[in-house]
Chain A
């Protein structure tokens, strides 16, 4: 059965304290590993998609990496405005559907 698991469920950081969020998966027919950011009361906002092991993408303080079993979202020197829930999702060859993990709630304190 296809599965995606995110850890930790919640992460509290001090401003400037770098860390990583994990997304572990098992899937057949993977067509992309997606990262989204969701702020309270809003819909998810697209961040990155990765398609093959070894691929990396960066955006400001965020860097996403992908292996055959997991993806990491690295946050370098985070700021309070990076506080949000970060979601990863598996894409499929057929149908375009995404299967989401339960998310990691990140809180960055000044």
Chain B
């Protein structure tokens, strides 16, 4: 399997549930990202991991908890979400985050997880 894979593709959860989104990249990259895409809004960066270390948290509520056990895997743990958290959650990877040459910042995206919070 190649590229960036996200599972599940669709998720429906209640406000009291706990669930996790998974992202796996097969590109040999060292940086991984979580984005939120809501209807009629630009993609919003949530978190950045570079060589397994979190380097960016874009003021994301604590009900979203990221985990990056290695450079190939990224998780987003969800708990006590709100209906306004319903959106498409996208994972991306790049060779590295920040410096490192012109191609280092090119991000490659997965197909996303469509999340509905009831």
Q: Which residues of A contact B (CB under 8 A)?
A: 31-32, 34, 36, 41-46, 49, 51, 87, 89, 91, 93-103
User: Are B109 and A103 touching (Cβ within 8 A)?
Assistant: no
Contact of B42 among A31, A46, A93, A100 (CB under 8 A): A100
Q: Which chain A positions have C-beta within 8 A of B42?
A: 87, 99-103
CB distance from B70 to the nearest CB of A (A): 18
User: Are B111 and A95 touching (Cβ within 8 A)?
Assistant: no
CB distance from B11 to the nearest CB of A (A): 15
User: Are B48 and A96 touching (Cβ within 8 A)?
Assistant: yes
How many chain B residues touch A (Cβ–Cβ < 8 Å)?
A: 32
In the complex, number of A-B residue pairs with CB atoms less than 8 Å apart: 73
Binary interface encoding of chain B residues 97-118 relative to chain A, with 1 for a CB under 8 A from any of its CBs, else 0: 1110010111111111010000
Q: List 13 A-B contacts (CB under 8 A).
A: A34-B107, A42-B111, A43-B112, A46-B106, A95-B48, A96-B48, A96-B50, A96-B96, A97-B33, A97-B58, A98-B43, A98-B45, A99-B45
Bound-state Cα–Cα, A97 to B107, Å? 9
User: Are B102 and A42 touching (Cβ within 8 A)?
Assistant: no
8 closest pairs, A vs B, by CB?
A: A96-B97, A43-B109, A100-B43, A100-B42, A96-B98, A102-B42, A44-B109, A91-B105
Bound-state Cα–Cα, A98 to B107, Å? 9
User: Are A95 and B98 touching (Cβ within 8 A)?
Assistant: yes
Contact of B112 among A42, A45, A93, A96 (CB under 8 A): A42
Binary interface encoding of chain B residues 9-37 relative to chain A, with 1 for a CB under 8 A from any of its CBs, else 0: 00000000000000000000001010000
Q: Which chain B positions have C-beta within 8 A of A96?
A: 31, 33, 48, 50, 55, 94, 96-98, 104-105, 107
Q: Who on chain B is nearest to A34 by CB?
A: B106
